[in-house]
Structure 1
Amino acid sequence: MKKLIFLFGILFTLAGQCLAQFNTQNPEQEQWVDSVFQSLTPDQRIAQLIWINAYADDKVEAQMKVADLVKKYNLGGVIFFTGNPEKQVQLTNLYQSVAQTPLLIAMDAEWGVGMRLYGVTSFPYNMMMGASYDPELVEQATNQMAQQMKRLGVQVSFGPVADINTQPLNPIIGMRSFGESPKEVTELSLAYAKGLQKNGIIAVAKHFPGHGDTQADSHLTLPLVPYDRARLDSVELYPFKHMVEQGVTGIMSAHLHVPHLDDHDGIPSSLSPKVITGILRDEWSFDGLVVTDAMNMGGAKAFGEPGELEALALKAGNDVVEFPKDFVVALEGIKKALKEGKLTWAEIDEKCHRVLKAKYWAGLADYSPLSAKNLMADLNSPEVELAKRKMIEASITLLENKNEILPLQGLDTLTVACVAVGRTEETPFQKMLGKYTKTTNFFLPERFTAEQLAELKTRLKDYNLVVAGVHLYEAKRRHSMQVGNMQAVKPERPYGLTDETEALLEYLGTEKKAVEVFFSSPYALAEVKDFKAPAGLIMAYQNDTLVQELSAQLIFGGIGAKGKLPVSLGNYYRAGDGIQLDGVGRLKYTIAEEAGMSSARLSHRIDSIANDAIAQQATPGCSVFAVKDGKVIFSKTYGYHTFDKRIPVSEDDLYDLASVTKVSAATAAVLKLTDEGMIDLDDRFSDYWTDWRKGLFHRSNKEDLGWREILAHRSGLIPYIQYWKETMKDKEQLIEKWYMPQSEDGYSLEVAPGLFLKDKFKKTVYRDIRLSSINPPGKYVYSGITFLLIPELTEKLSGKSYVEFLDDNYYKPLGAYHVTYKPLEKYSKDQIIPTEYDSLYRKQLVQGTVHDEAAAVMGGVSGNAGLFANANDLAKMVQMYMQMGSYGGRQYLSEATMKEFTRYQFPEENNRRGLGFDKPLVNNKEVDAEDSYPCPGASPESFGHSGFTGTFIWADPKYKLVYVFLSNRVYPTRDNNLLGKLNVRTNILQVFYDEINGDL
């Protein structure tokens, strides 16, 4: 028999050693194998060929039984199934410690060990990976699967599934197959094996000679594969032959009846010498491990009794029989066959040598016990998640995009209903959709009725877009039974479809503008009797949380569409169908590793800074958000709304932005007006605000102040005016003429709940600003008083109300609905973080109305303060700024205008301001780190602003970094300035710069 070199050309290497050393002459290997072989008794040589099942669960008696069998008989291997990782590590150490010869530890882990073990990240099913049509990504995924296995002390993976799934109603393969194309399945199966084998994991391709075109489950019965040899060679056998040629380390023989390979009545292929020895060994010269599928499966049991079956399997050419019904019975049956001459010791010895060579290749000659330290973190590493993310992103498949509905544009024109079909609580899909724009969630439970559907239709009438997540694959199961090592299921109807589901799909496809996403087997769509394609159709393949989140991102253009169908879906779609679509630059939600950063390091350092600030009571809580290269790489909340620790901070909570309002609202308005030619920055401010012009009876000292000087804070204006004091007497009591307890004609300026100021007071504010003193220009002095005038000025120039102008030009098209003035009109009070208890003016805890008194007397809508936001939506605004006016495929502002506003205006005066925006010190790189602003890492191109309540935003085009920090450091009193003294906001910003630049 010819020796097969186990190589993918020269690509397979492991620590400098080629995979060929599995079965080629190697003195060290041969010495170890011969030494171990000579130490084995005849019974132990047989036992090396039997692998039994084990479970890392709470069944201690069964676990001890396995240990006893390993110790007594020196078994060849153990196959772990369900359980928890820590227990599996304990049991692996135990079993290896009592084994005379190191055990091969195997797992049936087709989509990673998370397929079997609780709490471990799972990779996509093969069919979803097949939709990527990307061998490199498959290899990257199995490389991480291999790392998980090595961490658990596993040496053998029963994968890849190399079956060609050409039967939509296949009850056992289906989503476990890469698809229906022999060429694609072969290519991806090779990539899968490569990722395992280059990491020292024995890949066992299955289910030879091919289980993809059956309608019976071999766990329950013996399926028939009726095709002739020509068809078998071109489909079923095709991937296995090529994998053997390229160097796969193992093949699993399946319990199938294939008459054109062996016409013996009812013989399973796993027990057929014509199939195993005749094809694998003789025709293909395969010299790797041949392992049977579980010997307790229905497909094998019908052909003989336990013991007899295992002997027949070895005689057929298998090296290993796995999962026998009873180990002792199997051992005795094999010994009986040897005694009767049905098996020879030469055959046993050859197989034993092959198993021992596999053990040496897998590193068992130098086995050492496993450590449980950091086990879960290692199994769920960021590298694992990143490989999974890339795989999913490449696989999600866009099948319909009528009128280019995706990615969604014109968010300000859409009223979006998100329907979860088969769910009754908010799904990860719905939650992620809500990060992009305002949405309303609806639910249809499993087995929803016609009446429930009718009610939903009524509720959807007011929505001009429906996004439906269809969750079918894991639902609608009638009953199940545990057979062998798989869970056999019998659906009431293929893939969980019901008449009501089909009625819903017809409604969405004919009566609504809809986007449907199938979180299910793609074959579910093929089973729809008369499918009416919606405007947008996405095949997402499975119901995984990350799949749902990335599918939502695709809808809004946070990611593109790359996948192609790996199988045909009836007459609707063919294998290979898939519309390719680029993203449009909206935020992409991912992990730091995708931007070349470390999640662990970021969390460690930022957690330390934030938690220390909270521990020192610098603030009750905070929200930290960062974007790198358009990717959200950090989003975390800390602490509580208040120091009594009743309500934890949530990512949806709104904060009072204080002076961040100046750049997120007032400056935004001026930017747009400038961009549209309604403001010339070289004009005088009084050219637009005529109240500043001098007249016969109209005093003004500000007529000649220019826009640039004002926005760069070097015009000589005083910093602040305490307007509210003019409405009080004795500094404690409100003057009654100014206030009403409720809104009514002439009293619409809401200062706080139950306190409404007379509208005419605005004129007093404007007068006070006009008459305020002024210092000589040219010196940088921060002043906010002009920003109170921007709202009315915006209305005069644009013809729209200030809030409407901002909503229409920014917040709504950005999908930033959580950036708002007067949040109590839209959100519950519990969703708004309180600021200060105002004992002087409003005599109440300020929550939901603006903290700043100057903005309060303007009714909460002002240019200096009054804006509220959560971190996610505020970041969209900052990201648009950082991208020089562009976001989500729309140019909000010209690049030239953005660059003008964000450059140093008067650097010769050492003034660090742009127009409205704050910037680093002009000499930031020259000063000591502790004297820098905002931090040493900020580039000269960067810009942002801080807020009195403890807020901060920063954008750095050089590093493509956006940073948002929100807190309520003024709770319960503004006298607490620990947040500033500790430099919490800027120290966290520096962490991101350190990580970007490798300054760790």
Structure 2
Amino acid sequence: MRFRLGYLAFMPILFFSFLMCQSSLPPDSPELGPQLFPQQKQLQALETRILAQEETWINQKWESMSPQERLGQLFMVAAYPLQGKNDEIRMKRLIQKEHLGGVVLFKGPPTRAASLCNQYQAWAPKVPLLVAIDGEWGLAMRLDSIINYPRQLLFGALPDNRLIYDFGKEVARQAQHIGIHINFAPVVDINNNAANPVIGDRSFGEQKRNVTEKAYQYMRGMQDNGLMACAKHFPGHGDTDVDSHYDLPKIKHPRSRLDSLELYPFRQLIPQGLGSIMVAHLNIPALDPRDKRPTTLSYATIQKLLKEELNFKGLVITDAMNMQGVAKHYGPGQADVEALKAGNDILLMSQRVAQSKKMILAALKKGDLSWEDLEQRIRKILRAKYRAGLANYKPVSTKNVVKNINNQAAQDLYKKILGQSLTLVANPDSLLPLRQIKGRKIASLCIGSGRKNSFQLELQRYGIQQHFYAGTSISVAQERRLLQQLGQQEVVFIALDRLRRKQKDRFGVSSSVERFVKKLSQKTKVVLIAFGSPYSLGYFEEVPYLSCAYVNDRSAQIQAARAMVGAQSFMGQLPVSASKNLRAGLGVKTQVFRMPHAESPESMGMRSDILNQIDKIAAEAIRKKATPGCQILVAKSGKIVFHKAYGHHTYAKRRPQRLDDVYDLASVTKVAATTMTLMHLYERGLIDLDAPLGQYIPELKGSNKANLKIRAVLAHQAGLKPWIPFYAKTLDENKRPMDSLYRKKPQGPYQVRIAEGLYFHKDKVKPYLWNRIIEQNLRGRTNYKYSDLGFYLFARLVEEVSGQGLDEYVQEHFYAPMGLEYTGFNPLNRKISKSQIIPSEEDKYYRYQKVQGDVHDMGAAMLAGVSGHAGLFSQGQELAAIYQLWLNGGSYKGRQYLKESTIALFTKQYSARSRRGLGFDRKEITDPKASINVAKQASPNTFGHLGFTGIGAWADPDNELIYIFLSNRTYPDSENMQLIRLDIRTRIHELCYQALGE
């Protein structure tokens, strides 16, 4: 047997790796020389010693057993942990009296299964038991409370077979916690018959090469890590219409067809060290012409074809001998004798072990079986036990079994498998992924559920808010109503989430659902996704946009929704043909253009238990009235690891904060709009950082601002005063907006929107704002002093240099090509619903209203919402995307927006007199007395900015970490300083570093 198990799984690998890494040249190459031959000889000697030890153990066990004990090695019986004490008594009797060679575990709790495995082994002190499980999609197929990986058909859709190796490795790890040595997997049947009642989604699909490649990786993943694989069901159960559990299927294909298709995976896997093969109960006249002769009892099939023609040296195991495919036509003992005569090594789930042993002895006496032949098979079983590590058997620990099995890595692998299998079957005009959501009529319909499923909830996080529901059948009246409601939409996502596995059930697609979907697709763009069998897509061939997620699972639904909107890729391909036009192999790959999500914080080297402590600090902030609510995002190495919304828009608690809400970023505008634009202009050679402002802004000529250097203004070291309350001069003696300067409606020159029902005279902006900046005295010192005024001037500079407003320039060169829909100035002008925008204040000094959708900053409001110091609105994910662009050295999703050297120039410390960069704030490292603006653990290269409305956004290039904190701490009163006093933003930032283990 060539499979690597037990000691073979770790000892020789180091030597082989060493030899393989020396050179790609052949051993006799003159360049290589003779120096490797000593290592080769050492390795050969080591292997010889190990094989000798193996042979010694096998001989000892063989010699120690009586004939009855030896025969017992041929039997593997089923153990049922759920059946409690009665099954324990049965198993003890069988193990001790019949000297069983192995057991196969069925349903039960993992901890009990592990405990029973220890007990079973204690009852077999002379020769340890080979413990098996029928775990095609992992241990959860038989044991409860374990992460339930998908069936093999989903794996057939994966583009990256390395994930299947990882899955096999994970199954092996889990098996070690129970005490299992062999898994009856992979299924290598080629499922080219949709009506197959027993294989179906247990197969990797209908394409023989795809099935074989994936089976090979699954086999390797298990066997490289100490778990024997068992390919089944030989010689191929994929094209049957009868379930061998209930009767004997007949396959009428000629030998040539069997050779070219059914036998192909076995023929390819056997030379690669396959450990065992399970033989199916099939009647195949082309292999054995005897009527009702199952392949399990066929000498021509097992001995001649499998062992001799295909040269298989591993264990040959029958399918369960209590299945009607064999039991219906042969009695218990008779079937077992015939199975041994045919060439099987292990009799699985014999109905009557004691009776069978008597009949085997009778057959030996009669000469129908020979001891010489059985000895070879029993020695083969002993060899498998030795290689499974049973020569040095130790009981498994029964502490924390479920916890150890369900570790975070296992969960991450599960999510990764689901994500990579997502298959976009048809996408004729590249509608998907949706780049534009804002302002479009988009809805979703869940068929099979009466409430929002996870697919719809995730779409909602990206701004799709209209959701509908229907059962698995749709009445005529309901159809009429849904057609009217959904027919008006531009795009409708339809999720099928109550599908079935069998063709006899139409895979869960009722004729009424089929009719409705086809009618709706004639009225609007329907994007249908099947959360179940890909065969279900065959009923919707006419629907132009088809996709499949294979399982009805929360994680699959979330990831499918993300793929629809470009936060994740479609990567999979159909493993089977759903119809004549929907052929196996179809799959449209899509690109990610939104920030992707990590499978978990742990997958990015962070601890979720620590990140979850953010909940407490956010709750404290809301409870202590630091802010009505907030949104927090953490990204690591380009992927979101934490993203939650807390609280409500206001303390009235009428509208919860959501992840698609839009926030006034206040001074974060300085970096996410203005500085980024200046970086771009600098790269284009349109500005010189050492040039004076007056060179670009004509109004400054002759003023004390004309000679201020751009670099110094960006670093807040140009002597500018912090700010000017421009609006105050526009109020009357009652502190109300002057009638001569404001109107309630836009009319004539009153076109500058300050807020709802308040419009400023456009010709008064210059005297009341620009002239005041120009005429404002300088401080007289050029030490660091934070100032808004320079960034007002930068907005003017952008207009003069580029011919575009700041909002237009940054939209054209950054936000639009990055796919940022909600980032920009004046959100109400950009078709963003007011209800989606977080209110910033109940203004009682200027606008006298709830400020919602209009910029909070009064000076920016007087500039129609567009200024260099404030005015930008955004969401958590979109702001994180901008920060990720900076961390990526100026690139985002395959496009280069800025040079890495430019970002380094602007984000580095400007001078020793302050922590600031050019435009960017940085971690305070120069003045220990200054307030802490970021976590103490943040690297010295951390950069970002704070915002007056309760914003914090930081990027740490050393740790590849992004932290976004969005809130409306200024609501209802901007004088509320609780957020700062409680140090909410920094405390949460510190948790991010604690989660990194720093």
Per the TM superposition, whether the score is higher than 0.5 is yes
1:632 alignment partner, one of 631, 636, 640:
640
Output the CA distance in 1 between the equivalents of 2:206 and 2:8: 27
- 1:706-735 Cα offsets, whole Å, 9 max, x none, are 6554443223233245678889999xx976
TM-aligned CA distance change 1:909 to 1:968, over 3 Å:
same
1:774 alignment partner, one of 771, 775, 778:
778
User: Which residue number in structure 2 is paired with residue 532 of structure 1?
Assistant: 542
TM-aligned CA distance change 1:152 to 1:858, over 3 Å:
farther
Gaps of 5+ in 2: 17-43
Residues 433-582 of structure 1: pairs in structure 2 closer than 5 A: 433-434=459-460, 438=464, 440-471=466-497, 475-476=499-500, 491-493=504-506, 495-507=507-519, 511-526=523-538, 531-532=541-542, 534=544, 536-579=545-588, 581=589
User: Which residue number in structure 2 is paired with residue 945 of structure 1?
Assistant: 945
State the shift of 1:572 in Å: 0.7
Preserved CA contact (<8 Å) 2:537 2:546: no
State the shift of 1:633 in Å: 4.0
2:178 alignment partner, one of 152, 170, 188:
152
Output the CA distance in 2 between the equivalents of 1:638 and 1:85: 38
Matched, 1:221 2:247: yes
Residues 267-666 of structure 1: pairs in structure 2 closer than 5 A: 267-325=293-351, 349-388=375-414, 391-392=417-418, 395-409=421-435, 415-434=441-460, 438=464, 440-471=466-497, 475-476=499-500, 491-493=504-506, 495-507=507-519, 511-526=523-538, 531-532=541-542, 534=544, 536-579=545-588, 581=589, 583-591=591-599, 597-600=604-607, 603=608, 606=611, 624-635=632-643, 657-664=665-672
TM-score by length of 1: 0.78
User: Which residue number in structure 2 is paired with residue 481 of structure 1?
Assistant: none
1:783 alignment partner, one of 771, 784, 787:
787
Output the CA distance in 1 between the equivalents of 2:618 and 2:963: 18
TM-aligned CA distance change 1:934 to 1:39, over 3 Å:
same
Matched, 1:265 2:291: yes
TM-aligned CA distance change 1:185 to 1:703, over 3 Å:
closer
TM-aligned CA distance change 1:649 to 1:47, over 3 Å:
farther
Residue identity matched to 2:260: S
TM-aligned CA distance change 1:802 to 1:60, over 3 Å:
farther
Matched, 1:180 2:206: yes
Output the CA distance in 2 between the equivalents of 1:959 and 1:606: 16
Question: Which has the higher mean CA deviation after the structures are superposed, 536-545 or 215-224?
Answer: 536-545
Matched, 1:15 2:41: no
User: Which residue number in structure 1 is paired with residue 876 of structure 2?
Assistant: 871
TM-score by length of 2: 0.78
1:162 alignment partner, one of 188, 199, 202:
188
TM-aligned CA distance change 1:467 to 1:773, over 3 Å:
same
- 1:365-384 Cα offsets, whole Å, 9 max, x none, are 22223234454453234443
Preserved CA contact (<8 Å) 1:127 1:177: yes
- 1:936-969 Cα offsets, whole Å, 9 max, x none, are 76475x6411235653223456876543244678
- 1:209-268 Cα offsets, whole Å, 9 max, x none, are 110111111122211111222222222223223333332111111111112222222121
Output the CA distance in 2 between the equivalents of 1:392 and 1:839: 53
- 1:109-156 Cα offsets, whole Å, 9 max, x none, are 112223334443344433333334654443232122222222332211
Output the CA distance in 2 between the equivalents of 1:447 and 1:332: 57
TM-aligned CA distance change 1:7 to 1:880, over 3 Å:
closer
Residue identity matched to 2:75: I
Output the CA distance in 1 between the equivalents of 2:377 and 2:933: 71
Output the CA distance in 1 between the equivalents of 2:510 and 2:286: 39
Aligned residues: 955
SS at match of 1:402: coil
State the shift of 1:161 in Å: 0.8
Question: Which has the higher mean CA deviation after the structures are superposed, 68-77 or 633-642?
Answer: 633-642
Residue identity matched to 1:149: A
State the shift of 1:974 in Å: 1.1
Matched, 1:208 2:234: yes
Preserved CA contact (<8 Å) 2:152 2:201: yes
Preserved CA contact (<8 Å) 1:587 1:876: yes
Q: Percent identity?
A: 35
User: Which residue number in structure 1 is paired with residue 167 of structure 2?
Assistant: 141
Question: Which has the higher mean CA deviation after the structures are superposed, 762-771 or 375-384?
Answer: 762-771
State the shift of 1:405 in Å: 3.8
Output the CA distance in 1 between the equivalents of 2:745 and 2:543: 53
1:120 alignment partner, one of 146, 158, 161:
146
Output the CA distance in 1 between the equivalents of 2:64 and 2:735: 98
Output the CA distance in 1 between the equivalents of 2:365 and 2:681: 97
Output the CA distance in 2 between the equivalents of 1:721 and 1:362: 79
TM-aligned CA distance change 1:345 to 1:200, over 3 Å:
same
Output the CA distance in 2 between the equivalents of 1:980 and 1:205: 60
Preserved CA contact (<8 Å) 1:591 1:599: no
Residue identity matched to 1:918: D
Output the CA distance in 2 between the equivalents of 1:377 and 1:643: 41
Output the CA distance in 1 between the equivalents of 2:486 and 2:684: 38
Residue identity matched to 1:145: V
1:716 alignment partner, one of 712, 715, 719:
719
Preserved CA contact (<8 Å) 2:436 2:821: no
User: Which residue number in structure 1 is paired with residue 37 of structure 2?
Assistant: none
Preserved CA contact (<8 Å) 2:906 2:919: no
Output the CA distance in 2 between the equivalents of 1:12 and 1:466: 55
Matched, 1:240 2:271: no
Residue identity matched to 1:519: F
State the shift of 1:863 in Å: 6.2
Output the CA distance in 1 between the equivalents of 2:354 and 2:771: 99
Preserved CA contact (<8 Å) 2:152 2:202: yes
Output the CA distance in 2 between the equivalents of 1:397 and 1:371: 41
1:30 alignment partner, one of 55, 58, 63:
55
Gaps of 5+ in 1: 478-488, 695-699
TM-aligned CA distance change 1:879 to 1:436, over 3 Å:
farther
State the shift of 1:468 in Å: 3.7
SS at match of 1:82: coil
TM-aligned CA distance change 1:610 to 1:902, over 3 Å:
farther
Output the CA distance in 2 between the equivalents of 1:938 and 1:136: 35
Residue identity matched to 1:214: T
